[in-house]
Structures are given as C-alpha cells and as structure tokens.
Structure 1
Amino acid sequence: MQTTRQITVIQTAAILVSTIIGVGVLPLPLFAVRAADSGAPLVTLLGMLVGSIGLVLIAVLGMRFPNKSIIQYSEDIIGKWLAWIGSLFIIAFFAILTSLAAREFGEVVVTSVLKTTPVEVTVIVMLLLAALSTRNDITTFAYIHHFYFPALLGPGLLIVALSLKNADIINLQPIWGNAPQGMVGGIFTVAALFQGSFVLTMVIPAMRRPEKAMKASIWGMLIAGGLYVAIVVATVSVFGAEESKRLLWPTLELAKATSLPANVLERLDAAFLAVWVTAVFTTLFSSYFLTIHSMSKLFRLRDHRMFSLFLLPIVFVMAMLPVNILNMYEIIQVVGRIGLYITIVYPAVLLLIAFVRKKRGNSVGNLPMDQSG
C-alpha cells in the first residue's frame, strides 16, 4: 500500500509510549519483586535498558534503510530464504503476543469488573476492536496513538504522585534487593514488556524525517520506561516487597489505595481501569497492525487490510489456550524471554552483517514520496 511520509518525531514517540504501556503494567511490580524483593526498581531500570538495546538496533537499521521495514531489508542483508525464516518468526511472535495480551485483558476484566461475563466475550470484543481499527493506513494509525497518548500518561503519573504520600522509603532498601541472584531472570522478564517498541520498524518508512528515528526512540523509551520505574517504586514503597508478592495485580491495588486530595475520589481503581483499557487497546492495536503489515510485506501485497479479519480467529484460538491465570503468566514469561532473540538478537545480527557487507538502502530523497512506505 502506498503511503506518504507524514508521521512526525512526536507522533513516533507517542506510538512507542502508547504501545509499550499496555496490559503488562498491572503485573509489572509482581514480576520485579519476585526477582529481587526491594531491588525491584533496579530490576525494572535494568530491564528498560535491555529493552532499549533492541529499540536502538531497530532505529539504526531503520535509518540505514529508511524506505523499508525489517521484513524487506532483511532480504537485502541475508538473502531471501533466510530472511523469510526470520520474518515468519517475527509474524508468529507478534501474533502470539497479541493473543496473550488479549487473554490477560479478558482475565482482568472478568475478575475485577464483569464477574459474570465469560472471558471469551471480553477477549473477542477487544480483538474485534483492534482488528477493525487496523484496516486504516499507517498515518491514521499514528493519529490514533497520538490522540490517546495524553490520556495514558497523565493519569498514570497522577496515581504514582498521589500514592507517594503513603510511601515508606525503608521498603526500598537495600536497593539491590535481598536476593540478587534472581535479578538476571527478572531483568529479561521486564525487558520483554518493552518488545512492543519493535513497531518502530513499521513506522520509520512513513516518517517525514527517518534520520530522527533515534531521537523519537530515546524519548519514547525514557517516557514509557520512566513511568514503569515510577510505578514499581511507588508500589514497593507503599506495600513493601513481601506484600507486593501476594498481590496478583499490584498496580491495581496501588490505585485502590490512592485517593484524590480532600477525598474527592476515595479510590482511583475505577478511573485507572478505564485508562488501562485504553492502554490495552493501543498495545493490541500496534501488535496486531505490525503482524498483518509484516504479512503484507512478506507476500509483496500492496494492502494489509485483507489480513485484518483473516487473522482474528487464529489469534482468538491462541488466546483461549492457557487454562487459567497462573498458566497464562507462566506462558507470558517464557514467550517474552524467547521473544528477546527476535527483538534484540536478530536485529543485532542483521546490523552486523549489513556493516560487514556494506549494505545500505536508498536515501529518502531518491524515491518518490508515494513509494516510500
């Protein structure tokens, strides 16, 4: 599908933030405290840095091949057949990621709000909303993310700021935790929550100035990662590490324990869930769009719309495979860690080979504007 270069640096950063901040924000403190107790904020920060490696690699590759996504320039770098294998792994991984995010959303909703509603209903509604939204072009995709960006960031920062009045700094000591030997696994688990930033590979060919992709990446990661670290700091400082381990969704409990000044709202969990639903939508929207966009590039199609509903039943069936919440989170952690090979190692190999073989795409000015997507 032909696209014009209309996406700005600010919109690109907004896409990254609203994609990264998603369903994983609820169990994030639980993953971190299980890994390092009071060292959870440090684990989250290091996980953000590991996640940043993949984003930087994608940004560098995108600036080197400004008119193509990873599906296309991987063929230039390593050849068609090897690239096909890598592309199939990317498509399969983000389809699985979409299904797991949808299932996690469904479990939270039926546990916290709609207790008599079957989980299948909530999952299919969210997937259908994402599938229909992906029938738009990449420019509309950017506008949707840009529109929801303030609604995601503002309430999250507000809840963190208000919750700190109940914080006890002693809960954050020692800063490296009581069991540092578990930190490495926790770092990779947290890093997996940043894998949505891979969407940048699809956005760069539609940017007005692809050479500024790194700037957008840094801002996007700083904002999203900063919010994640702040949420973990607030949760651990309010509840303590041991209490946080007993909570299935510590961030939701943090919102319940937080109130507006003068008791205008005694609990913020209802407002937080409304914002969280929006965050889940934008994350699902990105991963679903990336999946079908990659499929269209792999099969050399001009339009990705034909895959939007074709993929829906496949993703829904995968979402229903985990038998319960605990099994779902076990799968999420395993899939997330395996996905680091796809989102970090694979781009690193591509970039290394591109340097060695001196492969580089055409500059932006060498292609007509309507063919740069």
Structure 2
Amino acid sequence: MSGTQQAKGGLPQEKLTTIQVAVIISNFMLGSGILSLPRVSAEKVGTPDAWISVLLGGLVAIVAGVIMALLSQAYPGQTFYEYSRKIVGSWLGHLLGPVMILYFAATAAFQVRSLFEVSGFILLEGTPQWAITSVFLWVGLYLMLGGLGAIARLFELILPLTIFIYLLVTLMGFTIFDLDNLRPLLGQGIWPVLKGVQTTSLAFTGFEVIILLTAYMKNPNKNIKAVTAGIAIPLVIYIVTVFMVIGALSVDGTLTKNWPTLDMARSFELSGLIFERFEFLLLIIWIMQIFSSFTTAFYFSALGISQLYKRKMKTCLYGLLPFVYIFVAVPRKLDDVFTLGDWIGKVALYLFGVIPIVLLIVTKWRSSKHANQT
C-alpha cells in the first residue's frame, strides 16, 4: 500500500491527514452522549437553558483541546505515553501511563455496555449480553488490526452519514416542537447555566486523543486545526439535540426518560413516506458512533500497553479483549452504567483538563530556561 509503513507493533501504519484526525476525534466524541445528554444536562441545569451550558461546555473543550495540541507539538513523532516520562520523570510518567490505559479501557467497556442496554431495550429484547457484546468486540478487533489508517477511512464514511441522518431525524422533531418549552431565556439567571457547564463538558470527552494522534499526522503543526474542527462538529450536533429534545418534550418530560433523544424520535410520525417511524434510523447511526467510540478507545488503550511495556501491538489488542469483556459485565443495572459514565467523565476532567496544563507549563519553562542558558 502506497505511503504505508509497518508499525513497531506489527500493524500497518499510515500517516493521517488533518481531516482524518478531525474525523477520528468527532467520531470518538459522538458516542452514548447523543442519546443521554439532554437528560443529563437538564437534570443538572434544571431549566430550559441547558443548551447554553452545552455551548459553554463545548468552548471549554476547545480550549482544553488547543492546550493539549500545543503540548504535543513540542514532542513531534511521540505520543503522550512516550513524552510524559520526559516531562515529569520516569516514576510519575509510568504512573500517568497506566491510568490513561485504564481510562481508555473503561471508556471502551462503557460504550459496549451502553450499546447492549439500548439495543436490548429497543431491538433485541431478551438477547443475552454475551451474544451482543462478543460480536461487537470481535468486529471491532478486526478493524483495529488494520491500523489507524483503516480506522480513519471507515470513520470518514461513517461521519457524513451520521450528520445527515441524525440532523434529518432530529429536525423532523419540529412537528412536535414547542418553543414555549424553551422559555423564558435565562429565566432563573445565569447561575443554573454555569452549574451545568462541568456536566456538559464531560460530554465532550474524546478530544484528548489529540495527544496520541499528533504523532501519526502528516502535518503535526496543524493539530490545533484538527482538534478544533473535531470538537466543533459534535458541539453543533449536541446543541441541536438538547435544543430540540427539550423543545419537544419539555424539561420535565426530558428528565423522566433514560434516552430522551430516542424517545423524541419515537414521538412523531410522518405518514406517506417510505419510513413513518424514524427511531430505527437514529438507532442505526447511533450504533455506528458507539462502534467508532469503542474502537478508538480500545485501540489507544492497547497502544499504551504496547508503548509502555514494549509489546507487539497485535498481542496487546488480543490480550486486552477479555479484560474489556469482563469490564462490560461489571455494572449490574442501568443506574450503574450511568454511574460508570459519570466516573469516567470525572477522571477525564482531571486527567486531560488539569494535567496537560501543568505539563505544558513545565515544557515551556524548560524550553525558556534552555534558551537562556544557550
């Protein structure tokens, strides 16, 4: 294959374009949040202004993404697993690495478990958990064995289809949309909106892969553009989602649904078309996004094991599979799944919101110190 090299771990490895990196980030972010974000944000804000919290949360994510992109630019050709040890030393670097590996593994398991909960509720009621998750895991593994190039090319097909179908189905919700459900604007002031920013920011976790993807970019200096575009696409989709769901179901109606976006799509019918009910179209593209989020998280968890412990990438992918499968089964009920998602989001807040700032400051300080000495 032209432009393809053999990676250290034995997998084919291609340099990624700026667009491909942006697409990977967008696909990783558009996971289970599509269906649950309206409920989560409305629960925290408590007013129809939850969409404003989503907007502010997205802007916070863009700032954090730019910081991480700048950090990665200082260490060209290296992933966070490799250069973190150079910044904070071997001991702390080996501590950060396993935490990050565990984070991505837990994220992968959470996405698979979310898939089981929703598909079991809507499509495959009564189907055993192992039957759904096993197929999902093995298909994902098959894709990952093709390397990042194969993942990026598939995601380039998935994202445009997702945007088109999702916005089409969501905007059809105007048939049951009531603008009064979104009034009054800032009726209780700005404070409830600000309270919801932290919660909505967690929905944008996924941009952190820029600290790993930069090492595989053709033009690593364009990683800021890639991460900004990668966050902007989910930001628009999430704002439209929260705005439409609350406008259609009201705040109180949204709070009573586990998956309010899906419930909104089930609340209207358009007669005379090939499809009169559209929740299944929404579910199809959601499953594709869950698959994207799962494969990205799983791949970068295995990459961490490969780079930290000097093992072949293919071995790490196969070896991680049973552990993720076991992790999928840990939550016993749906509330436990939501709790796991909250836990993952809070870990991401500190792991990728605070630590990169500290590491960037240390990097800039060392660079300026070295420049002064020379």
- The separation in 1 between residues aligned to 2:30 and 2:304, in whole angstroms, is 22
Report which stretch shifted further, 95-104 or 327-336.
Answer: 327-336
Tell me: CA distance 1:157–1:116, structure 2 relative to 1, closer, same or farther (3 Å). same
1:181 shift after superposition = 5.6
- The separation in 2 between residues aligned to 1:252 and 1:244, in whole angstroms, is 11
- The separation in 2 between residues aligned to 1:317 and 1:77, in whole angstroms, is 34
Partner of 2:96: 86
The alignment status of 1:357 with 2:366, answered yes or no, reads yes
Letter of the 2:86 partner, please give it.
Answer: D
1:183 shift after superposition = 4.7
Identity among equivalent pairs (%): 24
Partner of 1:150: 160
1:196 shift after superposition = 1.6
Q: Which residues in structure 2 correspond to 1:107-256 (within 5 Å)?
A: 107-176=117-186, 178=188, 183=193, 186-256=196-266
**Cα contact 1:40–1:177 (8 A) shared by 2:** no
Q: TM-score by structure 1 length?
A: 0.90
1:231 shift after superposition = 0.5
The alignment status of 1:15 with 2:4, answered yes or no, reads no
Partner of 1:369: none
- The separation in 1 between residues aligned to 2:124 and 2:368, in whole angstroms, is 53
Partner of 2:49: 39
Letter of the 2:354 partner, please give it.
Answer: V
The alignment status of 1:25 with 2:30, answered yes or no, reads no
**Cα contact 1:57–1:344 (8 A) shared by 2:** no
Unaligned regions of 5+ residues in structure 1, if any?
361-373
1:200-254 CA distance string (max 9 Å, x none): 2222111111111111111111111110111110101111111111111011012
1:11 shift after superposition = 1.2
1:276-295 CA distance string (max 9 Å, x none): 11111011010001111121
- The separation in 2 between residues aligned to 1:319 and 1:181, in whole angstroms, is 37
Q: Which residues in structure 2 correspond to 1:289-328 (within 5 Å)?
A: 289-301=299-311, 303-328=312-337
Q: Once superposed, what is the RMSD of the aligned Cα atoms?
A: 2.1
1:180 shift after superposition = 6.3
Selected match of 2:66 from 53, 56, 65: 56
Partner of 1:70: 80
Letter of the 1:32 partner, please give it.
Answer: S
**Cα contact 2:13–2:147 (8 A) shared by 1:** no
**Cα contact 2:14–2:148 (8 A) shared by 1:** no
- The separation in 1 between residues aligned to 2:194 and 2:344, in whole angstroms, is 16
Unaligned regions of 5+ residues in structure 2, if any?
1-6, 370-374
Letter of the 2:294 partner, please give it.
Answer: L
Tell me: CA distance 1:253–1:205, structure 2 relative to 1, closer, same or farther (3 Å). same
- The separation in 2 between residues aligned to 1:97 and 1:156, in whole angstroms, is 23
1:184 shift after superposition = 5.2
Q: Which residues in structure 2 correspond to 1:94-109 (within 5 Å)?
A: 94-109=104-119
Aligned residues: 359
- The separation in 2 between residues aligned to 1:175 and 1:63, in whole angstroms, is 41
Report which stretch shifted further, 310-319 or 351-360.
Answer: 351-360
1:347 shift after superposition = 1.2
**Cα contact 1:39–1:178 (8 A) shared by 2:** no
